[in-house]
């Protein structure tokens, strides 16, 4: 590294305000005698001045205009809703998704209502052990478990005898007479 | 002596209730569900029909095991009938019962 190289490093440090007093004096003595380093120092100084001007230049921001635009954008979003997808559908101006969601919710509610109407809650909860069976069922569980068999008991006891029966013609007598003639 | 008699009475009275509760607890969810559905159906029947079924139940309880097994087999045969065969069986049963009564 030459002597001038070391001084040019100091020029940068001086521009940044990071050079000590003695080193500053030494650098100024050198600049007075070295035209090359003096030119470098001038160039560095003007560059730093330009940077300072750029950084200290006032930035013009129209806060009022930005605020007004933000208000308009918020107003366009509409009122806050717990169903953002519905609001999104409104914004798009397309309703199929909206209708699909409403139809799904309505369908689920209708199914739940129909289920509750057809099946009492105990029919579902008791089998799962979440409730006691009605007293009649608790006292005669076998009756309700084998209900179909018990209801048809007479026919089932005599199944073969019943099956052997030859069905009598149950058509009205007039029809039979017409058939014979 | 009185205390012992009371204890014996309590044991005799509670035993069947406990046995019935045990029987219900032995049923699986599917059996319980079917029982509950049958109960709902039973509730909607006319009183006379409910009484008939109660009477059939008493007879069912008195049947020996082999008779019950036979009835269960016949029930399975009945289930396997086609709708036409089932209607025919029901007509035959009506006719058979009319002759018997």
Contacts (Cβ under 8 Å, ≥6 apart) of A140? B20, B57
Residue extents of the structural domains in chain A: 3-56, 70-118, 129-164
Q: Which of residues 119-148 of A touch B (CB under 8 A)?
A: 120, 122-124, 126-129, 133-134, 136-148
Asked if A155 and B89 come within 8 Å (Cβ–Cβ), the reply is: yes
Asked if B56 and A153 come within 8 Å (Cβ–Cβ), the reply is: yes
Choose the closest CB to A150 out of B33, B36, B56: B56
Q: Is residue B17 part of a domain?
A: no
Q: How do residues B40-53 score in pLDDT, each as one tens digit? A: 999 999 999 999 99
Residue A174 has pLDDT above 50, yes or no: no
Asked if A167 and B91 come within 8 Å (Cβ–Cβ), the reply is: yes
Do the Cβ atoms of A145 and B27 come closer than 8 Å? yes
Q: What is the ipTM of this complex?
A: 0.79
Q: Is residue B24 part of a domain?
A: no
Q: Write down the H helix ranges in B27-101.
A: 29-43, 47-62, 65-80, 83-100
The two three-digit tokens of residue B3, written as one number = 């205390």
Domain carrying residue B66 = 29-100
- Mean pLDDT of the region B27-51: 92
Q: Is residue B9 part of a domain?
A: no
Q: Give the count of domains, chain B.
A: 1
Q: Is residue B4 part of a domain?
A: no
pLDDT score for B3? 62
Q: In whole angstroms, give the CA distance from residue B59 to residue B54.
A: 9
**Low-confidence winner among A58-72, A83-97, A102-116 (lowest mean pLDDT):** A83-97
Which chain B residues are within 8 Å of A130, Cβ to Cβ?
A: none
Q: Does the CA dihedral A7-A13-A18-A24 come out positive or negative?
A: positive
CB contact B15 to A (< 8 Å): no
Identify the burial level of A96 via C-beta atoms within 10 angstroms of its C-beta, where 0-12 means exposed, 13-18 middle and 19 or more buried: exposed
Q: How do residues A106-153 score in pLDDT, each as one tens digit? A: 888 888 777 666 666 677 777 777 778 888 898 999 999 999 999 999
pLDDT score for A11? 84
Radius of gyration of the CA atoms of chain A, in A: 50
CB contact B67 to A (< 8 Å): yes
């Amino acid at each position: 590294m030459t002597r001038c190289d070391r001084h040019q490093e100091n020029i940068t440090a001086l521009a940044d305000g990071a050079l000590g007093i003695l080193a500053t004096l030494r650098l100024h003595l050198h600049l007075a005698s070295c035209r090359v380093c003096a030119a470098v120092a001038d160039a560095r100084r003007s560059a730093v001045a330009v940077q300072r001007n750029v950084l200290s230049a006032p930035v013009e921001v129209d806060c009022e205009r930005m605020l007004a635009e933000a208000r308009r954008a918020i107003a366009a979003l509409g009122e806050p809703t717990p169903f953002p997808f519905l609001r999104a559908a409104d914004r798009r101006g397309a309703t199929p998704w909206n209708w699909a969601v409403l139809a799904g919710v309505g369908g689920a509610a209708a199914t739940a209502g129909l289920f509750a109407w057809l099946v009492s809650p105990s029919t579902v909860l008791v089998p799962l052990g979440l409730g006691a069976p009605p007293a009649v069922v608790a006292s005669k569980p076998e009756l309700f478990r084998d209900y179909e068999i018990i209801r048809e008991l007479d026919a089932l006891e005599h199944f073969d005898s019943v099956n052997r029966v030859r069905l009598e013609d149950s058509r009205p007598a007039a029809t039979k007479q017409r058939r014979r003639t | 002596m009185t205390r012992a008699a009371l204890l014996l009475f309590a044991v005799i009275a509670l035993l069947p209730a406990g046995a019935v509760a045990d029987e219900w607890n032995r049923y699986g969810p599917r059996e319980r569900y079917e029982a509950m559905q049958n109960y709902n159906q039973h509730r909607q029947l006319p009183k006379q029909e409910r009484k008939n079924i109660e009477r059939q139940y008493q007879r069912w309880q008195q049947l020996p095991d082999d008779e019950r097994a036979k009835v269960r087999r016949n029930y399975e045969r009945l289930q396997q009938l086609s709708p036409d065969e089932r209607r025919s069986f029901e007509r035959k049963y009506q006719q058979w019962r009319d002759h018997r009564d």
